[in-house]
Amino acid sequence: MRNYGDFLFTSESVSEGHPDKVADRISDTVLDTFLSADPEARVACETMCTTNRVVLAGEVRGPASVTSDMLVERARDAIRDIGYDQEGFSWKTADITSFLHAQSVDIAKGVDSEGNKDEGAGDQGIMFGFATRETERLMPAPLFYAQSILEKIRDYRKNGDARGDGLLPDAKSQVTLRYVEGKPVAATSVVISTQHVEGMRQNTIREMLRTVVREVLPEGWMCKEEEFYVNPTGNFVIGGPDGDAGLTGRKIIVDTYGGAAPHGGGAFSGKDPTKVDRSAAYAARYLAKNVVAADLADRCTIQLSYAIGVSKPLSVYVDLDGTGKDVDEARLGDVLYQMVNLSPRGIREHLRLNRPIYAPTSAYGHFGRIPDPALDNFTWEQTDLVDDLRRAFNR
């Protein structure tokens, strides 16, 4: 989104009840179950869900105490927490089958540390991190507001608030913002589609959601009435996996920066932190956020690259998008490389990733989240490098 003139930019988000997010949640629940039993467990879990059926597949290496029956029950608990107890998809009656099997010995050999060899990356790939001063959480504004709308709807639905009466778990949002001189100033359109009980009037839903949007957007940002779209196709009663099959890892732009920054292509959910698709993307966000929080730039994109079985990153690239404040990008990349150990093990230890902290990441984005002190999660959102970065550049 390298544009400092006047333009429109759109991002979307989906709720925890979207079928792909149901799959992500179950995959991350499987991961958390293994990490609870063994912090060094290896997990690559894929989930498919459809009408009253869930299938788990993938590779794992962990203690025998984590059984297929246990994983099935944990998946059922996840579905219940999301809120699905419908005829076509219910936590009580869904047929849940696990086809998880042992991790490939060839992959294990490349990843594991032995002798003088440090732990290698679990796969090759490129990962990006991004931060921008558009919002207090240093996230792109269109995605931030699209996610915030769905989070508030979820809270009303689960807390018994009248503003959530009759709404069901599956929902999507889309927010288009107008930028003037590169800064967001107002919404030009808002789209929300939400599952609801049979017989609910669309005008009633529209009024409920208008209140939600006005609570989320800054004052004066609400779009024109004719650009406020609620359930544009009409009824949305059949939803979730009963309406559309869900798969792990199909919402990678929703999970990251809403299209405002590059994406390396790898999904996150269901992967343990030896997989740099996940851990290095977290590390890149951590570094980019600290750069912006240190006021070295207003925008920062960081790319990391890895090869399977190799511990050190092959490259560290920094792009301040023309917003750097007397900062040399090449030197900044060197400083960041020296400041944080970017090997897979170094990232895991620095951000404390070998813990069961992943189920909350599976919906409403992996970045820009507020950590839960009780869980000590979203550690990649901390800004503890700010002072060191300022000193490195004499600020």
Q: Which residues sit in the known binding site for K(+)?
A: 46
Q: Which position among 81, 165, 244, 295 bears the catalytic label? A: 244
Q: Which residues sit in the known binding site?
A: 18, 20, 46, 59, 103, 170-172, 244, 250-251, 267, 271, 275
Q: Which position among 37, 57, 108, 245 bears the catalytic label? A: 245
Q: Which position among 74, 152, 172, 285 bears the catalytic label? A: 172
- Give yes or no: 275 in active site: yes
* CA proximity to 357, closest of 267, 273, 239, 247: 273
Q: Which position among 16, 21, 61, 268 bears the catalytic label? A: 21
- Give yes or no: 18 in active site: yes
- Give yes or no: 46 in active site: yes
Structure tokens at 238: 């059949």
Residue 134 near residue 141 (C-beta atoms within 8 A) = yes
- The C-alpha R_g of the chain, in whole angstroms, comes to 21
Q: Give strand ranges (E) for 70-135.
A: 85-86, 89-90, 95-102, 125-132
- Give yes or no: 277 in active site: yes
Q: Which position among 250, 278, 285, 350 bears the catalytic label? A: 250
Q: Which position among 76, 154, 157, 251 bears the catalytic label? A: 251
Q: Which position among 271, 285, 350, 369 bears the catalytic label? A: 271
- Rounded to the nearest 10 degrees, the angle between the axes of helix 329-339 and helix 276-293 is 120
Q: How far is CA 283 from CA 246, 278, 296, 380, in A?
A: 28, 9, 18, 6
- Give yes or no: 181 in active site: no
SS percent in the chain: helix, strand, coil, step 5: 35, 25, 40
Structure tokens at 53: 């059926």
Q: Which position among 277, 298, 319, 321 bears the catalytic label? A: 277
* CA proximity to 151, closest of 320, 338, 363, 310: 363
Structure tokens at 184: 């967001």
Q: Which residues sit in the known binding site for ATP?
A: 18, 170-172, 244, 250-251, 267, 271
Q: Which position among 236, 268, 367, 378 bears the catalytic label? A: 236
Q: Which residues sit in the known binding site for Mg(2+)?
A: 20
Q: Which position among 25, 61, 74, 275 bears the catalytic label? A: 275
- Give yes or no: 245 in active site: yes
- Give yes or no: 92 in active site: no
- Give yes or no: 349 in active site: no
Active site (catalytic) residues:
18, 20-21, 46, 59, 172, 236, 244-245, 250-251, 271, 275, 277
